[in-house]
Structure 1
Amino acid sequence: MIKAEVVDKTTVIKVLISSFEDNQSVNFIIRKDEKRARRIQALMDYSYEICSLFGEVWLSDDKNACALILYPQQKRTTLKSIWLDIRLIVQAVGLSGISKALKREEKIKKLQPRENIAYLWFIGVDPEFQHKGIGSKLMKEIIAESNRKHLPVYLETSTLRNIPWYEVLGFHTYNQLELGYTLFFLKREPDK
């Protein structure tokens, strides 16, 4: 696994767009209209930038998979983060979607832990390279990195078929939330 650099941003966003195009959670935030592709790109750009500021962005060695890790305990309000939030609203969520997005985030935050964690915001594999072990290898490396930092890994997924994969990697579901779709909350404690 390699840490993404600025030159890798386009690759990361491309992998995330192709991996999350049909994701229920993304579709909850992004309207299905003629600007949908640009909106998804803006969401992934925002996520990349936030994780670059307050976390880490990782790529598989072949750059066909990526993961965005956020350390919520490091997140701060800065001029750049405010600018990124405004840009997200304008480019991805839209003014009419602000209320819906904020209500969803409020419900999610109530169920998330208040401890130091590694939050796996996104993990994606280019669809051409899925089911070849690239995502599993990347996830195992993320777990190892979190173990070195003595941090549990938390994530949410709306993709039911991914839950068994996460369970094989040591995650368990600790909560769920109904939002018109089911959002599952998973965590993995660090190895002792």
Structure 2
Amino acid sequence: MASKTEHKRKVVEILLLAFEQNKSVNYICCDDALRYTRIRLLMEYAYKVCNRYGKIFLSEDENACALVLFPDKRNSTFKSLFWDIKLAFQVIGLDNISKILKREKEIKKYHPVMPFYYLWFIGVHPYRQGMGKGSSMLQTVLADAKQMGRPVYLETSTLENLPWYKRFGFTIYAEMDFGYRFFLLKNNTPANE
């Protein structure tokens, strides 16, 4: 079994490679010479947040992962505030903070008031994509959400992923424009089905 440090390294590496060209991720990270480093720091941030306020899944073969957040469990602590400040300075950049805060506020308007299961990131190592590893990971996540009795919400800026999500029962409930199309999806599979 991998150590916590090794587990984190593997998850961050998968997400870094899987989301390197993602429009939404690149919107958050400053598009400069440090973009790759900024994306890595974003994924490390997401890992820490989900480790504390959600769940982290890594496939047995260590080629697929998912980061899940329970927004109702997240609270402000000195540590989480420190993480947010580091994110603002190291990833977003001072010039982009207001743009990103406005974006997050708009997205959160569409989130439910009730407790839900937020699939923040799901990724497969690029050399292993197209082999069913993402589908297997998504099935694991959906089964966990079903066991908890929570609907699953996620967002994507990858148009090509929409049919895949729809195969798993997700529906688009909102679409936004941030200079790229941004889709909000939900899966309301009842817990007792």
**Contact 1:72–1:117 at 8 Å: present in 2 too?**
yes
Which residue does the alignment assign to 1:72?
71
Task: Write the distance in 1 (CA, Å) between the matches of 2:167 and 2:156.
Answer: 15
1:72 alignment partner AA: P
**Contact 1:51–1:69 at 8 Å: present in 2 too?**
yes
CA 1:15 to 1:33, structure 2 compared with 1: closer, same or farther past 3 Å?
A: same
Aligned-residue Cα RMSD (Å) equals: 1.5
Question: Offset of 1:5 from its aligned partner?
Answer: 3.9
Which residue does the alignment assign to 2:138?
139
**Contact 1:152–1:187 at 8 Å: present in 2 too?**
yes
1:141-180 mapped onto 2 (5 Å cutoff): 141-180=140-179
SS at match of 1:111: coil
4+ long deviations beyond 4 Å: none
What's the TM-score once normalised by structure 1's chain length? 0.96
Which residue does the alignment assign to 2:44?
45
Which runs of 5 or more structure 2 residues have no equivalent in the other structure?
none
Task: Write the distance in 2 (CA, Å) between the matches of 1:81 and 1:34.
Answer: 27
SS at match of 1:68: strand
What's the TM-score once normalised by structure 2's chain length? 0.95
SS at match of 1:88: helix
Which residue does the alignment assign to 1:30?
29
Task: Write the distance in 1 (CA, Å) between the matches of 2:87 and 2:11.
Answer: 18
Identity of aligned residues (%): 44
Counting matched residue pairs gives 191
**Contact 1:54–1:75 at 8 Å: present in 2 too?**
yes
Task: Write the distance in 2 (CA, Å) between the matches of 1:35 and 1:7.
Answer: 24
